[in-house]
Amino acid sequence: MHPFAQHVLEKGVSVEKLLGNRTPSKVAPDYAREPDEHEFFLIGVAIAMAELLNCCHQLNHVPIILASHHQTTTMDRAGINRHSMIVYHLENYMIRTQSLLDRLLKLVDAVFHLLNDPRNCRYDVVIRNVKVQISNVHEPIKKLKKLLERYAGVRNEIIHHHSIKEDALRRLDMFFLLERWEQLSPNEKPSNIRGLIKDTIFEILWFKKKELVGFNKQIAASLSLIFDRLAPYYRREESALRLRLSKSDN
Q: Give the pLDDT score at 248.
A: 67
- pLDDT tens for each residue of 139-166: 999 999 999 999 999 999 999 999 999 9
Supply the DSSP string of the chain, one letter for each residue.
--HHHHHHHHHHHHHHHHHT-S-TTSSS---SS---HHHHHHHHHHHHHHHHHHHHHHHHHHHHHHH-----HHHHHHT--HHHHHHHHHHHHHHHHHHHHHHHHHHHHHHTT----GGG--HHHHHTSHHHHTSSSHHHHHHHHHHHTTTHHHHHHHHHT-----HHHHHHHHHHHHHHHHHH-TTSPP-SHHHHHHHHHHHHHHHHHHHHHHHHHHHHHHHHHHHHHHHHHHHHHHHHHHHHHHHHH-
Q: Is 175 exposed, middle or buried (0-12, 13-18, 19+ CB in 10 A)?
A: buried
Distances from the Cα of 87 to the Cα of 170, 193, 214, 221, 225, angstroms: 10, 20, 19, 27, 32
Q: Give the pLDDT score at 192.
A: 83
Q: Is the pLDDT of residue 99 over 80?
A: yes
Q: Give the pLDDT score at 3.
A: 96
Ranges 54-58, 155-159, 193-197, 238-242, most confident: 54-58
Contact 168, 183 (CB under 8 A): no
Contact 32, 8 (CB under 8 A): no
Contact 47, 12 (CB under 8 A): yes
What average pLDDT is seen over the chain? 92
- pLDDT tens for each residue of 172-204: 999 998 888 877 777 666 678 889 999 999 999
Q: Give the pLDDT score at 249.
A: 63
Q: Is the pLDDT of residue 93 over 70?
A: yes
pLDDT band for 215, please (50, 70, 90 cuts): very high
What is the rounded CA–CA span in Å between residue 119 and residue 129? Answer: 16
The model carries a pTM of 0.91
Which candidate, 10, 41, 78, places its Cα nearest to that of 233? 41
Q: Give the pLDDT score at 46.
A: 97
In percent, the amount of the chain with pLDDT more than 90 equals 76
What is the rounded CA–CA span in Å between residue 138 and residue 109? Answer: 12
